[in-house]
């Protein structure tokens, strides 16, 4: 039996306006720039020094690297996370989601890679009993894909729908982007085509499985 899934880390709530909002934006933009330059998640103290903002103030906005990277990724993928497609076809929704997401992977590739790096680093520290901060929990793709797949609910058995949901979560994300780019040497356009091909194949397989199950049930 699978362990209960913990919800992803929510992004910090930015101040509404004024000097506090300006400091929040400066810290966040500085973190984005540092990741772009150095390829790793900086500490909150590093961001504070570069931003010329007192460390105590920076920690009030971002108490840990987990909070910092959550804000970074929320900024990078914000439009995708808020996507609410009105397309009636689940296949079209999935296609729309992939087409809108992969260009943002290209634009914010250093930030996405750094977030994956932090998650792996924290897993190793937790396993060794050395993790001293709240872990960065990923998983927004579960909710995003659930919305995209909603129109397919009437065509799929619950088992096939759950399997398709989990399978697409493997295909939709920075992980396949990294594999196809680093190991296969693909360009961004071909990465997107390959990811869409995999998504289409998974949807077709789920529909076939559900049709076969319905046929067995009526035989």
Q: What pLDDT, in 10s, does the model give residues 5-48?
A: 678 888 888 888 899 999 999 999 999 999 999 888 899 999 99
Q: Which pLDDT score, from 0 to 100, does residue 187 have?
A: 95
Q: Which of 174, 172, 175 is nearest to 141 (CA)?
A: 172
d(CA 171, CA 149): 14
> What mean pLDDT, rounded, does the chain reach?
91
Residue partners of 122: CB distance under 8 A and separation at least 6: 66, 131, 133, 135, 136
Q: What class, spelled out in words, does domain 16-63 have in CATH? A: mainly alpha
Give 23's DSSP letter. H
Q: Which pLDDT score, from 0 to 100, does residue 4 have?
A: 53
**Residue 5: half-sphere exposure toward Cβ, Cα within 13 Å:** 10
Q: Above 90 in pLDDT, residue 84?
A: no
- Give the confidence band of 219 by pLDDT, cuts at 50, 70, 90: very low
Q: Which residue has the higher pLDDT, 148 or 82?
A: 148
Q: Which pLDDT score, from 0 to 100, does residue 67 have?
A: 94
- Average the pLDDT over 49-70 and give the result: 94
Q: Are 91 and 203 in contact (CB under 8 A)?
A: yes
What pLDDT digit, counting tens, does each position of 105-126 carry? 999 999 999 999 999 999 999 9
d(CA 76, CA 84): 17
Q: Which pLDDT score, from 0 to 100, does residue 1 have?
A: 41
d(CA 32, CA 14): 16
d(CA 167, CA 156): 14
Q: Above 50 in pLDDT, residue 202?
A: yes
What pLDDT digit, counting tens, does each position of 170-196 carry? 999 999 999 999 999 999 999 999 999
């Amino acid at each position: 039996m699978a362990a209960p899934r913990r919800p992803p880390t929510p992004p910090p709530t930015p101040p509404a306006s004024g000097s506090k909002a300006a400091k929040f934006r400066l810290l966040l933009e500085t973190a984005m720039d540092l990741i772009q330059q150095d390829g790793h998640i900086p500490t909150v103290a590093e961001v504070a020094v570069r931003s010329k903002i007192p460390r105590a103030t920076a920690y009030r906005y971002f108490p840990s690297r987990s909070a910092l990277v959550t804000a970074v990724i929320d900024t990078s993928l914000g439009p995708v996370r808020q996507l609410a497609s009105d397309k009636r076809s689940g296949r079209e929704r999935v296609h729309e989601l992939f087409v809108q997401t992969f260009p943002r992977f290209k634009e914010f590739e250093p930030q996405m890679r750094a977030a994956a790096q932090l998650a792996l680093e924290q897993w190793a520290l937790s396993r060794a009993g050395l993790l001293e901060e709240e872990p960065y929990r990923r998983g927004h793709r579960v909710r995003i894909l659930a919305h995209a797949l909603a129109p397919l609910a009437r065509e799929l058995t619950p088992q096939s729908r759950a399997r398709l949901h989990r399978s697409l979560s493997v295909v939709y994300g920075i992980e396949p982007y990294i594999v196809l780019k680093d190991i296969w040497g693909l360009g961004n356009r071909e990465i997107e085509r390959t990811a869409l091909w995999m998504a289409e194949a998974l949807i077709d397989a789920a529909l076939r499985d559900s049709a076969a199950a319905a046929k067995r049930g009526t035989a």
